Structure 1
Amino acid sequence: MASTNGLVPITRAFLSSYYDKYPFPPISSDVSALTHHLYNLSKHLLNHPSSPLPQGQRLLLQEAESQPPHKMDENMWKNREQIEEIIFLLEISHWPKTLQQSTPEDVELTRVLRQLRDKFEGSLKVVESFQSKNSNNIFNTVMTYMPQDFRGTLIRQQRERSERNKQAEVDALVNSGGTIRERYALLWKQQMERRRTLSQLGSATGVYKTLVKYLVGVPQVLLDFIRQINDDHGPMEEQRQRYGPPLYALTKMAVNIRLFLSLSWWRFEDIKMPKDQISVLEEAAQVYVSELERFLTFIGEVVANSPFFVTAEEAGALEGNKNNGYSETNVAAGKTHEVSLTVDTVNSYIAWDFSILQGKISTDIGFSVEHTDSSGYKTLILPYRRYESDQGNFCTVMAGNYKLLWDNSYSTFFKKALRYKVDCIPPVVESVPSTAAADDAK
C-alpha cells in the first residue's frame, strides 16, 4: 500500500500547471474543411430524394447538426460507435445491391471501400486499447493506495463480478438483435454506472456501503479523490477545456463521414458516387484516422504521467497566494464564516473555490448560499452540504444580497483552516454598433 501521508488530491490549478508542459499541436485544418465538405455533399444527396428519408438517417442528420458531448470519455465512446457504424456500412454485405455485383466501372470504388474498411478496423482497435488502458490505469492507481489485504481483494472481486455482469448484458443485447446504436447506449450507461460505483466507494453509499465499514485504514485523501475525480466542475474540467476541442472536432468528422456514406448508399441506385466524391471520402478517412490516432497517443501519455496526488504545499503554491485573490481564515469550532455580496444586476455570475487545509482529524465544513431581497425575504440558492473542497458558480436571476456561509457549528472541538476565493462577475454587455458602423459592415 503506497503512502498518502501529507498528500492532497490534484486540483484544477495543479492540472493547469501540469498541462502547460503538454501543449497539443493544433489539429489539422483539413479536419474542419473536410467535415464541412462532407456535410455539404450529404445535403446535396438530400435534394429531390426518390423516397422519404429513413428514420436512421434522420437521427444521424440531427446528430451531425448538433454539438458533440462535453465529456471527453463520452466523446471517446461516440468516436468508437461511429467507427463501428462506418465499418458496418463498408462491409460488402451492406453495400448497395448493384455495387455488390461490381461492374468494371465500380472497380475503383470497391477497391477504395475495402481499403477504408481495413483502415477503420485498425483505428477501432486503437480506440479500444486506449479505453482499456485508461480504465485500468485509474483502477490500479486507486488500488495502489488501498490496504493490500482482504479489503483490496473484496474490491477487486466486486469489480470483476460487475464487469462479467456488464458483458453479459451486452451479449444478451447483441444476441437479441440489438443495433450498434443500442449497444453503445448500453455501454455508455454502464460507464456511468462505473462512475457512480467509484464515487460511492468514496462517500460510503450504495453497493459499497457495507464494504466501506471495513475500510479502516484507507486514507481519507484516497476517498476524497475517487469521489471527486469526475465532478462536472472538478479538476478534470481543465482537461476538457485544454484537450476537448480537438476531440470534439474529430467526433463531428466521424459523424459526417458516416452520414455521407449512409446517404450515398441510400441514393446509390439514383446517384452513383462520382470519382471526385470517392477521393473526398478517401482523404477524409485518412485525415480522420491519422489525427485520431495522433490525439490518442498524445492524451494517453499525458494521462499516464499525470499524478493524482500532490503535497499540500505544491497544491497551495499552484492554486495561488494572497496576491491572486485567495484568503485564509480559521473557522472556530461551533462557529461560522460568511461572505456577503451585493449584486445589482441579474445575469451576474457568483463563483467560489474553497478547500479545507489538510488536517489530522476532520477536513470538511458545511457550505451553503442564500439570497436576501430588498424586503428581507430569503431564498436558499445552494442547500447546505459538507465538503472538503468545492468549486462552483451560478448565474443570478435576482438582484440583492447573496451570502456564502461556511458552517463549523457541528464541530465541538476542532477548528477548520479554510482557504477560499469568491468572485462576483458582472454580465458582459455588448455595445450597440452605431448606424454608420452598421452601414459600413453591410
Structure 2
Amino acid sequence: MASTEGLVPITRAFLARYYDKYPFEPLPDDVSGLTAELRSMSSDLQKEFPLTEAEGVLEREADCPPPHKIDQNMWKNREHIEEILFLLERSHWPRSLQEQSTAEDIEIATVLGKLQIKLQNCLKLLEAFQSKNAENVFNTVMTYMPQDFRGTIIRQQKERSERNKQAEVNALINSGGSLHDRYALLWKQQMERRQQLAQLGSATGVYKALVKYLIGVPQVLLDFIRQINDDQGPMEEQRQRYGPSLYCLTTMVLSIRLFLLLSWGRFEAKKLQKNQVAILEEAVNLYASELERFIKFIGEVFANSPFFISAQDAGSAEARRSDDYKETIIPAGKTYEVSLMVESINSYIAWDFSLGQGKTAMDIGFSVEYINPSGEKTMILPYRRYESDQGNFCTCMAGCYKLIWDNSYSTFFKKVLCYKVDCIPPVADPTE
C-alpha cells in the first residue's frame, strides 16, 4: 500500500501548470470545412425529401452542441462510429447499390469498403483506450488501498459489479434493444459509478469511519473522489484545454452519419454523386486520422497525470473538519435508545461512542437488538460494559433495530454519552 502521507488531491491550478507541458496541436481547418460541406449536402437532401422520425431525431442532435464532458464525448464517438459501420454493412446498403448494376455503383461500393475498414480500426482504438484508461485508474487507486484481504474483496466486488453491468447490456441486446439504447445504458452505468463515488467521497460520521477503517480507503482518496468530477473541479481544466478539439470531432462524425443515413433513405430516387462520395471519403479519412491522433495524445496525458500531489505543490492542504458527535446525558438508573429502520439486506449499522471525561465516565452497558414485524426481539450484539467503542458495526437484514446504552445498574453516576450512529446501505465499490 503506497503511503499517502503529506499528499492532497490534484487541484485545477496544478493541472493547469501540468497541461502547459502537453499542448495539443489544433485540428486542421479541413475538419470544420468538411463538416460544413457534409451538413450542406444533408440540408439539400432534406429539402427535397421530408425527414423520417429517426432522421429528424438525428438531425436535431446534430444541431445541438456536443456534451461537455470528455468521457461522454468518447462514448458518443463510439456510438456514432458503430452506427456508421451498421450503415456500411452491405446488407444495409440501398437495394440498387447492393446489386452494383453500374460502374458508378461498383466504384461507390469500393470506397465504402475502404471506409468500413478505416472506421473499424477507429472503433478498436477507441475501445482499447477506454479499457486501458479504466484499468490504469483502477490500478493506481489500488496502490493506495490495503494490500490484504480488503484489497482482494474490492477487486472481487469490482469484477462482480462489472459482470452484472455486462449482463444488463446483454439482456438489452437480446431483447432487441438498438445501438442507441445500448449506449444510453452504458452511459447510465457510467453515471451510476460516478454517483457512487460522489456518495463515498462525501461520507460523514460513522459511514466515513467505516470506509476509512474497515475498507481501508485513505482520507486523501476520499477527498479526491469527492471533488474530481465537480463541474468546476480539476477536470474542468482538462475540458477547457482539450475539449474543443474533441467536440469538433464529435460534430464531424455525427455529420458523417447524418449524411450517410439521409443518402441511403433517398438513394433510389437520388444516387450519390461522384463529388459527394469524394467529400464523404475525405471526411472519414480525416476524421479517423485526427481521432487517432487525439486518442494517442490524451492517452499519454492521462497516463502521466498524477492523482495526488504534495500539499506544498497544491499551495496548501485542505483543512480537515471533524464530524459532530451527538451528546446526551443518561441519568443513573436509566437507559438511552436509538432506533433505526434498515431497508436493504446486507446493510450495516455502524456506531462510534465514548463517555465524557471525569468521575461520571467509568463504563456503560451497550447492546444491539433486532425487532421483527411481529414484535419479537433478537439480540444482535450481546450486552457488555464499555468505556468506549469506536468504528464498530454489524451487518443486518431489513427491519427495525435498537441500540441501547444502559446505565440502570448505576445508583449515583450519570453518564455523558457522545455518539454517532449511521444506517449504511451496501457499500459501493470505492474504485469504480
**What residue is the counterpart of 1:326 in the other structure?**
none
**What residue is the counterpart of 1:76 in the other structure?**
74
What letter is aligned with 2:42? S
Change (3 A) 1:210 1:160: farther
1:96 deviates by 0.4
Change (3 A) 1:209 1:182: farther
Task: Give the Cα–Cα distance (whole angstroms) in 1 for the partners of residues 4 and 133 of structure 2.
Answer: 22
Change (3 A) 1:250 1:132: same
- Tell me, what secondary structure is at the counterpart of 1:5? coil
**What residue is the counterpart of 2:346 in the other structure?**
none
Q: Is the 8 A contact 1:9 1:308 kept in 2?
A: yes
**What residue is the counterpart of 1:5 in the other structure?**
5
2:107 matches 1:145: no
What letter is aligned with 1:181? H
Task: Give the Cα–Cα distance (whole angstroms) in 2 for the partners of residues 286 and 265 of structure 1.
Answer: 20
Change (3 A) 1:54 1:79: same
Q: Is the 8 A contact 2:212 2:219 kept in 1?
A: no
Task: Give the Cα–Cα distance (whole angstroms) in 1 for the partners of residues 153 and 197 of structure 2.
Answer: 14
**What residue is the counterpart of 2:45 in the other structure?**
45
Gaps spanning 5+ residues in structure 1: where?
A: 318-354, 367-411, 413-442
Task: Give the Cα–Cα distance (whole angstroms) in 2 for the partners of residues 163 and 129 of structure 1.
Answer: 17
What letter is aligned with 1:161? R
Q: Is the 8 A contact 1:151 1:214 kept in 2?
A: no
What do residues 235-268 of structure 1 show as CA deviations (whole Å, max 9, x unaligned)?
0000000000000000000000000000000110
Alignment of 1:48-197 (within 5 A): 48-49=48-49, 52-105=50-103, 106-197=105-196
Task: Give the Cα–Cα distance (whole angstroms) in 2 for the partners of residues 7 and 363 of structure 1.
Answer: 17
Structure 1 stretch displaced more, 17-26 or 136-145 = 136-145
Alignment of 1:313-324 (within 5 A): 313-316=312-315
Task: Give the Cα–Cα distance (whole angstroms) in 1 for the partners of residues 190 and 210 of structure 2.
Answer: 22
Q: Is the 8 A contact 1:9 1:310 kept in 2?
A: yes
- What is the aligned residue count? 322
Task: Give the Cα–Cα distance (whole angstroms) in 2 for the partners of residues 189 and 222 of structure 1.
Answer: 24
Q: Is the 8 A contact 1:16 1:238 kept in 2?
A: yes
Task: Give the Cα–Cα distance (whole angstroms) in 2 for the partners of residues 291 and 364 of structure 1.
Answer: 49
**What residue is the counterpart of 1:18 in the other structure?**
18
**What residue is the counterpart of 1:356 in the other structure?**
318
Structure 1 stretch displaced more, 147-156 or 17-26 = 147-156
**What residue is the counterpart of 1:227 in the other structure?**
226
Q: Is the 8 A contact 1:356 1:365 kept in 2?
A: no
Q: Percent identity?
A: 66
What do residues 202-240 of structure 1 show as CA deviations (whole Å, max 9, x unaligned)?
2348xx989626436542111111222211111000000
Task: Give the Cα–Cα distance (whole angstroms) in 2 for the partners of residues 209 and 129 of structure 1.
Answer: 35
Q: Is the 8 A contact 2:108 2:277 kept in 1?
A: yes
1:154 deviates by 1.7
**What residue is the counterpart of 2:370 in the other structure?**
none
1:201 deviates by 3.1
Task: Give the Cα–Cα distance (whole angstroms) in 2 for the partners of residues 140 and 80 of structure 1.
Answer: 24
Q: Is the 8 A contact 1:83 1:124 kept in 2?
A: yes
1:141 deviates by 1.2
Change (3 A) 1:210 1:167: farther
- Tell me, what secondary structure is at the counterpart of 1:356? coil
Change (3 A) 1:28 1:270: same
Task: Give the Cα–Cα distance (whole angstroms) in 2 for the partners of residues 216 and 113 of structure 1.
Answer: 53
Q: Is the 8 A contact 1:356 1:363 kept in 2?
A: no
Structure 1 stretch displaced more, 110-119 or 189-198 = 189-198
**What residue is the counterpart of 2:242 in the other structure?**
243
Runs of 4+ in 1 over 4 A off after TM superposition: 208-211, 363-366
Change (3 A) 1:364 1:48: farther
| Cα RMSD (Å) | 2.0
TM-score by length of 2: 0.72
